[in-house]
Amino acid sequence: MATRWGLCGAGKISHDFSVAMKTLPPGDHQIVAVAARSLERAREFAKKHSIPKAYGSYEELASDPEIDMVYLGVLHTEHWRLGLLVLQAGKNMLCEKPFAMNSREVGDLIAASKKSNVFLMEAIWSRCFPLHREVRRLLAEDAIGDIKLVKASFGSPQLHIPRSVEKELGGGALLDIGVYTLQFVLMVFNGERPESIHATGVLLNSGVDESMVVVMKFARNRLAFCFFSIAVSLPNDATISGTKGTIRVLGPMHCPTTLEVNGKTTQYPLPEPSLPLNFTNSTGLRYEAEEVRQCLLKGLKESPRMPLSESALLTEVMDECRKQVGVVFNQDSQ
Amino acid sequence: MATRWGLCGAGKISHDFSVAMKTLPPGDHQIVAVAARSLERAREFAKKHSIPKAYGSYEELASDPEIDMVYLGVLHTEHWRLGLLVLQAGKNMLCEKPFAMNSREVGDLIAASKKSNVFLMEAIWSRCFPLHREVRRLLAEDAIGDIKLVKASFGSPQLHIPRSVEKELGGGALLDIGVYTLQFVLMVFNGERPESIHATGVLLNSGVDESMVVVMKFARNRLAFCFFSIAVSLPNDATISGTKGTIRVLGPMHCPTTLEVNGKTTQYPLPEPSLPLNFTNSTGLRYEAEEVRQCLLKGLKESPRMPLSESALLTEVMDECRKQVGVVFNQDSQ
């Protein structure tokens, strides 16, 4: 039986998600409804992607009994409010990253999922890529010896995009792209808590972070650092340096198709999209959709690839980074 | 008239320096003497490199009236003692990096050079490479817009080398290779003092640093960071990210021959050595020898490429990094 999806949000990422879905067997995944703030917008989206139902309110979507799983692809600042709506309606949910604006909000979402006994996952799609499965396998096999240093970076000039720079819209490099570099580090260290975190950053006039360097120290003399910026282009890649070798995830690190292990390169090609995409390599969203399906089939309430405990830790790390560089959202004082 | 050099130390770097000298016109540079702890060792070195005089003590070299310029290529921990000997004897000096063990020692060397009114330069050979002249020109011309982020890294597994790991020998990644990454950052910011410095590192059992990540913030929202390790291989390169483009100094960053500006690569080839070298690209030591000669011809007491104020700042930054990660040398308590 197909997993029946409802899309909460008819924006760019929902578009790409729908295109990615078309690369999966229709017997496995169906998008049965889409909701947007306006019915017109939802209808337009539904028509474009051949989705049977369109709703002009998120409440209608949340209460549609035909939906197994909601994909929440709205603005960061709306994740908490709409996420709670969906979870409290008893629906499983895949929530776009960042999970929410801070640990308090993420805690509320996790608590709501447990109370409703539904599946919940932060949509860190990177972790579901086949390449990442191989990285995890190599690390589990100790293929590069003891890990000494992990590095991840992502820089993309997007100061012209309101969503990226305005505080009220949840702007800043950290929440939008830094999150990918930090989740990579936590993935390598398998959810271990860093012993120390130090963030140095520079802010835009709007009060959100333009660029940041985050250094973490883990037990047993292991270092990690991330740097990211919405002002300049930076390599979008990640490297794990071990005593016996090096694993490199080449750009784009957050949706990767090229792995280099001790200089040897392997490609993990993606299916071609049937419509133009908004974001890089977005047909790779198929992997997280399939991960969600497999979890549901097993009766799991969270994904082992991105457990809720790790989403909580990731958010804690981001809270700490923001605190150190002085980014305060309205949500932090509530 | 040729600049008449005396070599203080007959180790690996003096070997490479002598080989590099042979790529310069003999009418410009002559090595007239070499001194080592043992006369036998000095004689052997002199024979190999056709140097007229060999001394079994550094005092003899310092007082040789035929020498214009001493090249100090001894162990880090000996720079202060022998440097003072040379400078107080009224000789000009090019002192291998790191200049000395800490700011106190460097201050003593600088003071001694001023008192004797002689030329003094820390042998940050990187800065004398033709490629670096081009980097400075590009920065002066604002070729990549406003600088936002500077990154430099250097990692080379050398835990098997006593000089690299033992505290009594001045070991640790920072003083040996980290210094190259830090000097690069200070070069880009033209000797500006960072507003903040934060170092995270891990130590070897001997108490010196195995690896470090150093993050610096400069005025006007500019970030820089360096990472270096003597435990693992890391890219030995540097990147300057600006609002209008990117300058990359490809590996080996500390003695570079490949520059990439907005994706366009230029090569700066080095002359071939006449004898096997100990270190990478060491015929490039010729550039600092020639820089020293040009300074002497102009009557300068320091080099504009590596002014003493910048050596002092570089040492201060290294002192601060060591303090933050907990590397304390015996010299620090004297």
pLDDT in tens, chain A (334 residues): 999 999 999 999 999 999 999 999 999 999 999 999 999 999 999 999 999 999 999 999 999 999 999 999 999 999 999 999 999 999 999 999 999 999 999 999 999 999 999 999 999 999 999 999 999 999 999 999 999 999 999 999 999 999 999 999 999 999 999 999 999 999 999 999 999 999 999 999 999 999 999 999 999 999 999 999 999 999 999 999 999 999 999 989 999 999 999 999 999 999 999 999 999 999 999 999 999 999 999 999 999 999 999 999 999 999 999 999 999 999 999 7
d(CA A95, CA A72): 5
**Mean pLDDT for chain A?**
97
- The tokens describing A50, both together, are 């051949």
Q: What is the DSSP string of B249-276?
A: EPSSTTS--EEEETTEEEE-PPPPPSS-
Burial label for B133, CB within 10 Å (0-12, 13-18, 19+), is middle
Instruction: Please check whether residue A213 touches B, CB under 8 A.
Output: yes
Residues of A in contact with B210 (CB under 8 A): 221
How far A323 CA lies from chain B's nearest CA (Å)? 16
B262: left (phi over 0), alpha (psi -120 to 50) or beta: left
Alpha carbon distance, N-terminus to C-terminus of chain A:
43
Nearest chain A residue to B228 by CA distance is A149
Give residue-wise pLDDT tens across range B196-206.
999 999 999 99
d(CA A15, CA A287): 16
Give residue-wise pLDDT tens across range B20-64.
999 999 999 999 999 999 999 999 999 999 999 999 999 999 999
How many residues does the structure list for chain A?
Answer: 334
A93: left (phi over 0), alpha (psi -120 to 50) or beta: beta
SS3 A108: helix
Interchain pair B148, A201: CB under 8 A: no
Which of A148, A229, A231 faces B231 most closely, judged by CB atoms? Answer: A148
Question: Of the candidates A217, A194, A226, which has an alpha carbon nearest to the alpha carbon of residue A316?
Answer: A194
d(CA B28, CA A325): 53
How far B219 CA lies from chain A's nearest CA (Å)? 10
Instruction: Please check whether residue B202 touches A, CB under 8 A.
Output: yes
Give residue-wise pLDDT tens across range A303-332.
999 999 999 999 999 999 999 999 999 999
Residues of B in contact with A217 (CB under 8 A): 200, 202
- HSE-CB at B127 with a 13 A cutoff on CA atoms is 26
d(CA B302, CA B113): 10
Give the residue from B147, B148, B165, B240 with the most A CB atoms within 10 Å of its CB, the best one to mutate: B148
ipTM, 2 dp: 0.92
SS3 A197: strand
Secondary element (H or E) of residue A294? helix A285-297
Instruction: Please check whether residue A261 touches B, CB under 8 A.
Output: no
Question: Of the candidates A174, A182, A172, which has an alpha carbon nearest to the alpha carbon of residue A204?
Answer: A172
Q: Tokens 């070499």 correspond to what residue?
A: B34
Output the CA–CA distances (angstroms, integers) from residue B166 to B76, B176, B210, B232, B234, in the order listed: 12, 12, 11, 17, 22
d(CA B86, CA B11): 18
Could you give the domains of chain B?
3-126 (3.40.50.720), 130-267+307-333 (3.30.360.10)
Which of B202, B216, B233 faces A241 most closely, judged by CB atoms? Answer: B233
Q: How confident is the model at residue B334 (pLDDT cuts 50, 70, 90)?
A: confident
Contact (CB, 8 A) for B321 and B102:
no
∠ Cα A289 A290 A293 (to 5°): 95
Distance of CA A150 to the CA centre of its chain: 20
Interchain pair A246, B232: CB under 8 A: yes
How far B204 CA lies from chain A's nearest CA (Å)? 9
Interchain pair B149, A215: CB under 8 A: no
Residues of B in contact with A211 (CB under 8 A): 148-149, 221, 223
**Alpha-carbon dihedral angle through residues A314, A317, A322, A324, given to the nearest 10 degrees:** -170
